[in-house]
Structure 1
Amino acid sequence: MRVLLSMVAVLVGVLPAGAVAAAPAPAPAPSASASAPTVGAAPLTWGVAPSTRKGPDGRAAFNYKLDPGAELTDYAGISNYSGQPITVDLYASDAFTTPSGGFDLLPAAQEPTDVGTWVAFESRYRRLVIPSKSRVDVPFRLTVPRNATPGDHAGGIVASIAEPGTDAGGNRVRVDRRVGARIYLRVTGELAPAFTVERLDAGYDGTFNPLRGGTVTATYRVRNTGNVRLTGTPRVEVAGPFGIGRRSAGAAALPEILPGGEYTATVQVRGAAPLFRLDVDFGLSPVAVNASMPVPAATGHTAVWAWPWPQAVLLLLLAAGVWLLLYRRRAHARALATARAEGRAEATTSPETGPELSDANPTKSRGT
């Protein structure tokens, strides 16, 4: 089960250590609880949330800003909303950005290397038996290494329940159902936010209507190469040679991308004229999360062929129509000229009226 974690982050100070206390569990929070089927009819439901020695304090995530070498003690409230006791394994892990831009933690079998290693629970708290309808507030120690790199480090505290199950092939497997609360830790030092466009591909889809443009689909992949959580608003511009037929389109803002994380998405520009070769320019205006600082824009460029086949067919049809019209006019003119020539020839021919008398030897009449 995917770790369900809360999104909001607030600043927290150092809290004093204290004993673990069991208390009645509040109503479950959907974003910080999980359910798992059991042998009986009632499912197991549990959750994790930031807490204090006396109970939850309303924080939605563990959010810290600490210097390298700093230490603090905080509490995680593990609540059992079920009608029976549960046994949970408690640990911390590193976070990463999923391909769809989500927030997730490393699988249970994968060892953390970052903030997940900075959180320590006493051995007696790593596996807890929590009575039904109650909560246990567990202290933990967070120690920032002295050589920790400045910037944002993300992770989470997880409470998992392992159960036997079967996979799609019917094989018996161990199903690890877990839920957790996010950790956002900013180590003081120089912040260097940066997005990099690692890939930009484009394709052109024309239309059979020669009077309408097609659609350019730009697929981009960006990576957070800085040390601060980032979001941003993408925009794509499409233009033909010499900037002819320029069109642009934007898209929804990116989700928060952790340092080192990448995100892939598409932007469509509709109504792009098929001008043989189209330039596609991608721009991303990044925004740092929980930090007021300028962030350099991320850009990318590619080109795509856009053949005007419908327009070419229309042009051929128009050319054929003009040729046919001219051909008919010329044929008519030739026929008319032939008819006039024949008429003139007939007009110059005289009709037959008998033999013609000659004046060369006129017949004279003589008297006697």
Structure 2
Amino acid sequence: MRLLATIAAGIALLGVVPAPPASALAAPTPPAQQEPSPAPPSAAATWGVAPSSARGPNGRPAFSYKLDPGATLTDYIGVTNHSTRPLTLSLYASDAVTTTQGGFDLLAADQEPTDVGSWVRLPRRTVTIPSTSRLDIPFTLTVPRNATPGDHAGGIVASLAGAAVDAQGNRVAVDHRVGARIYLRVAGELQPTLTVENLRVRHSGSVNPLAGGTVTATFTVRNTGNVRLAGQPVLGVAGPFGLARQSVDGAALPEILPGGELTTTVRMSGVPPLFRLTANATVTPAAVGDQILDPPPRGEPAQATVWAVPWPQLALLILLALVGWALIAARRRRAAQLARAVAAAREEGRAQAGQDIPVAAGRQPSATAGRAAPDDHPMSDADRPGPGHDNRHPTIEDTGKDEK
């Protein structure tokens, strides 16, 4: 099955790129197609593209211009065939875009440019270059009178069509591309601005209750101004009322074209889980190359909140509380046992003391031993009974008569 597709195998900034060329400005693969394994039209097909002049390349890394609206200029693109056979290449200009990973890319060959790529006029669409030769081809760039101020980026491409087989075994058309960049700044008011959008924050706790967790912030940085910018992302995190506030720098961002965007991720470790965290993502814009930006660039921040429940710390607190409760309960049990032992010892002591009271000589202990009757008092000698006297109380005999 043959699929009709145009897939960029590679676009280089400048210089010589063998087929399949290395991709420095790769056009996107159509979503419905998986990236095929490119097969070059010829193993010896090698060519290069670079800014040039009527007399040949002049060492410029890219086409860089600063023009007023309505201005027109003529320049040259040098296309060199390093192969040992002639090459017929397609030559066209297109607009640049920023990939989500921050790469410089051009529109696919089947997409019509609407910006600086449409302002370039080449004398012909295809060129045939003899073997081991170079052609310096003139082109004109005309800035529309209503062009917006700021930076406009694109490129001029020399491509060679070929065929390849994708992972499913389908034959697809492949467009091997090599190009040179165009950076055009239209005079007017500059507005260098980077905006943070789609901030998503996630907190990952640590199993170590003595260590903090990790906050991962993923967000999109959009160039909402009219100047191409680089940037430095910064992530700030704080707990309620600004507690434990800290910040960390992310990886520096590459060039973002006006209207372009890229997605980046910043991680911060050692963040204490204070239940609810507030994250602020900002990007400090930076000029690209030797640009001088006036006014200074500004960044638009974004804010999001995330729950950070301290589960390990709560588990540790519960464990400590249980240990404390167990210790207090054990102390109370020991105190109760000690109190019972003291009470038992006291009772035993009282009982032992009652058994150890000495008995008076010549007297038998009685049930009232050890205590005196209320009317018990010492008798005088007159009261003491004589020998043989019965000290018992006399009894009244029952005579059967009433006593008068």
Tell me the TM-score normalized by structure 2.
0.80
Partner of 1:23: none
For residues 31 and 232 of structure 1, what CA distance do their matches in structure 2 show? 33
1:121 aligns with 2:130: no
Partner of 1:249: 248
SS across alignment from 2:355: coil
Partner of 1:232: 231
Partner of 1:201: 200
SS across alignment from 2:209: coil
Structure 1 contact 152–227 (Cα < 8 Å) conserved: yes
**Change beyond 3 A, Cα 1:32–1:271:** farther
For residues 88 and 58 of structure 1, what CA distance do their matches in structure 2 show? 23
> 317, 320, 323: which is aligned to 2:325?
323
1:356 aligns with 2:365: yes
Q: How does 1:1-368 map to 2 (within 5 A)?
A: 1-5=9-13, 28-29=15-16, 34=21, 37-38=39-40, 42-123=43-124, 126-289=125-288, 290-293=291-294, 294-349=296-351, 350-351=354-355, 356-357=365-366, 366=387
1:106-138 C-alpha deviation (Å, 9 max, x unpaired): 000011111111111113xx2112122221111
Structure 2 contact 39–164 (Cα < 8 Å) conserved: no
May I ask how many residue pairs the two structures share in their alignment? 344
1:89-113 C-alpha deviation (Å, 9 max, x unpaired): 0000000000101100000001111
For residues 252 and 39 of structure 1, what CA distance do their matches in structure 2 show? 39
For residues 5 and 330 of structure 1, what CA distance do their matches in structure 2 show? 83
Identical residues among aligned pairs (%): 55
Letter in 1 for 2:168: G
> 1:75 offset after TM fit, Å?
0.7
Letter in 2 for 1:313: A
**Change beyond 3 A, Cα 1:207–1:31:** farther
Structure 1 contact 4–31 (Cα < 8 Å) conserved: no
Letter in 2 for 1:52: S
Letter in 1 for 2:300: A
SS across alignment from 1:84: coil
Structure 1 contact 46–82 (Cα < 8 Å) conserved: yes
Structure 2 contact 237–247 (Cα < 8 Å) conserved: yes
Structure 2 contact 41–161 (Cα < 8 Å) conserved: no
SS across alignment from 2:167: coil
> 1:3 offset after TM fit, Å?
2.1
Tell me the TM-score normalized by structure 1.
0.87
> 1:29 offset after TM fit, Å?
4.4
> 1:291 offset after TM fit, Å?
2.8
> 1:59 offset after TM fit, Å?
0.4
Letter in 2 for 1:254: L
SS across alignment from 2:201: strand
For residues 263 and 254 of structure 2, what CA distance do their matches in structure 1 show? 11
Partner of 2:26: none
For residues 283 and 337 of structure 1, what CA distance do their matches in structure 2 show? 68
Which runs of at least 4 in structure 1 moved beyond 4 Å after TM superposition? 28-33, 35-40, 352-355, 357-365
Structure 2 contact 97–260 (Cα < 8 Å) conserved: yes
For residues 365 and 89 of structure 1, what CA distance do their matches in structure 2 show? 162
Structure 2 contact 41–162 (Cα < 8 Å) conserved: no
1:283-333 C-alpha deviation (Å, 9 max, x unpaired): 211123323221123211111100000000110111011111101100000
**Change beyond 3 A, Cα 1:208–1:365:** farther
Structure 2 contact 18–46 (Cα < 8 Å) conserved: no
For residues 179 and 218 of structure 1, what CA distance do their matches in structure 2 show? 36
> 1:153 offset after TM fit, Å?
0.5
Q: Which residues of structure 2 form unaligned runs of 5+?
A: 1-8, 23-37, 390-404
Structure 2 contact 284–299 (Cα < 8 Å) conserved: yes
Structure 1 contact 37–43 (Cα < 8 Å) conserved: no
> 1:39 offset after TM fit, Å?
6.2
